Structures are given as C-alpha cells and as structure tokens.
C-alpha cells in the first residue's frame, strides 16, 4: 500500500533508497511535495521533522537523512569524506 502511494505521489526511487526513511515517511514527503533528492536536500532539519513527525524522527536522524540526500553535492570533492 505505501509503495503504491509513494509511486502515485511521485517520490523518486533515489529518495526511497535512503535507508533511514520508512514507507510512511515517503508517503508523508510526497504529500508535502518533496519528491526528489534535491527537494529533500533543500529541507532544514525542522522542516523534515514537521513533515515526518517529531514522534518518528530525532534531530540527529533528520540531519543524517538530509545529508544523505546532499551526498551527491559533494561527490568528487577531495575534502569531503
């Protein structure tokens, strides 16, 4: 059910492959208009928590998810590990 909703809402496979995000999280993101890694990468921690829910996501976990979405920004940068 959640997978079908994710696809209907247009949430990309790249976002779905971020391991910290659960199927309900993906549906909430899609319902809020966040469908791509760029959209997810552009969120602030508090915005992601507001979308997914503070009872589901800690600040640290939200930060890790956002950094996972931003990873491609830094690929090839020798200063990024």
Is residue 43 a part of any domain in this protein? yes
Is residue 80 a part of any domain in this protein? no
Is residue 19 a part of any domain in this protein? yes
Is residue 31 a part of any domain in this protein? yes
Distance CA 37, CA 1 (A): 22
Is residue 79 a part of any domain in this protein? no
CATH of the domain at 22: 1.10.150
Is residue 9 a part of any domain in this protein? yes
* 28-80 pLDDT, tens digit each: 999 999 999 999 999 999 999 999 998 989 999 999 999 999 988 887 766 65
Averaged pLDDT, 8-16:
96
Give the domain range for residue 24.
2-74
Is residue 57 a part of any domain in this protein? yes
Write the burial class of residue 47 (CB in 10 Å: 0-12 exposed, 13-18 middle, 19+ buried): middle
Count: domains in the chain: 1
Q: Which pLDDT does position 15 carry in this prediction? A: 96
């Amino acid at each position: 059910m959640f997978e079908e909703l994710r696809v209907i809402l247009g949430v990309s496979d790249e976002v779905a492959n971020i391991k910290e995000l659960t199927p309900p999280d993906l549906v909430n993101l899609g319902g809020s208009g966040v469908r791509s890694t760029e959209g997810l990468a552009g969120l602030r921690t508090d915005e992601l928590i507001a979308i997914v829910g503070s009872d589901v996501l800690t600040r640290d976990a939200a930060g890790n998810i956002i950094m996972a979405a931003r990873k491609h920004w830094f690929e090839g940068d020798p200063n990024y590990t």
